[in-house]
Amino acid sequence: MTLLNAPESFSDQLQDKIQYAETGIVSKVLLKLPHCQYTLFCLAAGTDIAEHTSTQNAVVQVLEGNGILTLEGEDITLEPGVFVFMSANAPHALKASENLAFLLTLSEPR
C-alpha cells in the first residue's frame, strides 16, 4: 500500500513487499506525508551506493540481509534489527554484501 497524505491509520506487512532485482535497487515509497517519507529499499547483493548527503534526517531500519553503511567515515555493519540515525547533511555510502532490505525514514530537520 502506498499512500500520499494518509487520510487514516493503516497497517501493512513489510515482508510481503520485499522484492529484489538481479542487480541494483528496488525502492517503494510506502507513505509520504508533508514532513516525512517512508521508503522500502531492496538492494541486490554487490550493489554500491556512492557517498552522498541528504538535506533531511534519515533512519535506516534493517529488515533482512547484510551490508556496510559508511557514515561520516565510520563503518557500521548492517544486519537485521540494526537501527541507524543519520543527521541531515551527514555523508554516507552503502554496500550490500548480500541481498539487503531496509526501511528508510526521511524527516525534516528542526
Cell 533531511, residue located: 56
Radius of gyration over every alpha carbon of the chain, rounded to an integer in angstroms: 14
Could you tell me the pLDDT band of residue 110, with boundaries at 50, 70 and 90? Answer: confident
Q: What would the pLDDT profile of 29-88 be if each residue is shown by its tens digit?
A: 999 988 999 999 999 999 999 999 999 999 999 999 999 999 999 999 999 999 999 999
**Chain Cα centroid distance, residue 94:** 10
Report the pLDDT value the prediction gives residue 1, as an integer from 0 to 100: 47
**Which has more pLDDT, 8 or 43?**
43
pLDDT of the residue at 7:
65
The grid coordinates of residue 19 equal: 522484492
